[in-house]
Amino acid sequence: MTATRVLVLNSGSSSVKYQLLDMRDSARLAVGLVERIGESTSRLVHTPLAGDGERREHTGAIADHSAALKAVADELARDGLGLDSPELAAIGHRVVHGGLRFTEPTVITDEVLAEIERLVPVAPLHNPANITGIRTAQALRPDLPQIAVFDTAFHTTMPEPAARYAIDVKTADAHRIRRYGFHGTSHAYVSRTTAALLGKDPSEVNVIVLHLGNGASASAVRGGRCVDTSMGLTPLEGLVMGTRSGDIDPAVTFHLMRVAGMSADDVDVLLNKKSGLVGLCGDNDMREIRRRVDAGDERAALAFDIYVHRLKKYIGAYCAVLGRVDAIAFTAGVGENAAPVREAAIAGLEGLGPVVDAELNAVRSGEARLISPASARVAVAVVPTDEELEIARQSYELVKNMVNA
């Protein structure tokens, strides 16, 4: 029997999201998530998409990631999709930080896992959870290839002038301080899909990708390779996000420590969790913010304008970085759904080439599509991202010959 299925795991500190895909046709067989792991109110939601199984939901304590993955395995087994199936080719793990070493999806060995662990100081929130997910999956199927797909990998092609901060080189190198970028799997998928939408090969086009979810990042992609991105050492840099400030004068940090008596951890929490849209207006959901703007709420309107202003600055910057731009692609929760954000971000940029057609922009669709008139010098696209499919695809490419030899 040919092994064509890939289980994709995205392990957070208290959650696991998963999808089981069949790579013969990229079909999703089941999707789900376990959240609030370690609490008494853990919740598992499982949706089989093949066959006639129904969405199932369980609440009750799930003690740790190991128990969570066992519960997921049980749910999959109920649908005849058990993890012991010979059709399962690999488990693909989203790993947030791969540093400079991991430029490609990688089969996880003890040595690879140790390196992911060495990167914990630069990704303290994410890599530990990813490592737990990997260990748990290895315990469940020790014989199966486990693949790490890194959020940073797509950005490792950034040239030094884009990747380096202008700080003392020795200090930077001693502590691996440089710009790594994140959401790479999404930027890779969306830039490639945008090229296809233009009927071109990725090597022929220059694309600006705007990944606007709760976290948000922009990237400049030249001929399929990332040449700049807005997130840096951590996901804090760049665009205004749901709860993160994005770019800020670094002196704000030590000013708050000296003047407001805040600790480094206090400032960390302030900038990562209490800033961005939520800090500006109390809401981080763009739907709610638009509702408030439409109702005449001034704080929400200012938050929206600050968000859009930063976005415009990055679009302008990446037009300059790329020299020639073929398309600007919007993706993720806000980018795919919030027509007012797309309209406002592109408004007034005719001189640079992009134009948004109001009617096309208003269409709601789950498909990749152009929202610019044919006459625009720079196309504007909406491209639903699919990080799980991309992780599955990259994992399967790596193992298909190995497992089906």
Q: Which residues bind ligand ADP (CB under 6 A)?
A: 213-215, 242, 284-287, 332-334, 337-338
Report CA torsion sign: 382, 26, 8, 105.
negative
Return the structure tokens found at 129: 């959870």
Considering the complex, state which of residue 19 and residue 106 has its C-beta at the smaller distance from ligand ADP: 19
Considering the complex, state which of residue 61 and residue 362 has its C-beta at the smaller distance from ligand ADP: 362
CB of 262 to ligand ADP, least distance (A): 26
- The span from the CA of 377 to the CA of 394, in Å, is 33
- The span from the CA of 197 to the CA of 367, in Å, is 11
CB of 241 to ligand ADP, least distance (A): 8
Alpha-carbon Rg of the chain, whole angstroms?
Answer: 22
Active site residue 326: no
- The span from the CA of 124 to the CA of 129, in Å, is 9
CB of 183 to ligand ADP, least distance (A): 9
Considering the complex, state which of residue 33 and residue 220 has its C-beta at the smaller distance from ligand ADP: 33
- The span from the CA of 92 to the CA of 389, in Å, is 10
* Given 151, 228, 326, 386, the catalytic residue: 151
- The span from the CA of 173 to the CA of 86, in Å, is 45
Considering the complex, state which of residue 180 and residue 304 has its C-beta at the smaller distance from ligand ADP: 304
Q: Which amino acid is at 25?
A: D
Under a CB-based contact definition with an 8 Å cutoff, are residues 76 and 30 in contact? Answer: yes
Considering the complex, state which of residue 104 and residue 294 has its C-beta at the smaller distance from ligand ADP: 294
CB of 242 to ligand ADP, least distance (A): 5
The CB-nearest residue to ligand ADP is 333
CB of 56 to ligand ADP, least distance (A): 22
CB of 332 to ligand ADP, least distance (A): 4
Per-residue b or e along 323-347, where b marks 16 or more CB atoms closer than 10 Å to that residue's CB? eebbbbbbbbbbbbbbbbbbbbbbe
- The span from the CA of 343 to the CA of 53, in Å, is 41
- The span from the CA of 138 to the CA of 247, in Å, is 39
Considering the complex, state which of residue 8 and residue 286 has its C-beta at the smaller distance from ligand ADP: 286
- The span from the CA of 175 to the CA of 165, in Å, is 13
Distance, first Cα to last Cα, the chain: 11
CA distances from 29 to 179, 312, 389, 397 (A): 37, 39, 12, 19
Q: Which residue has the tokens 């400049």?
A: 220
The residues annotated as belonging to the active site are 151
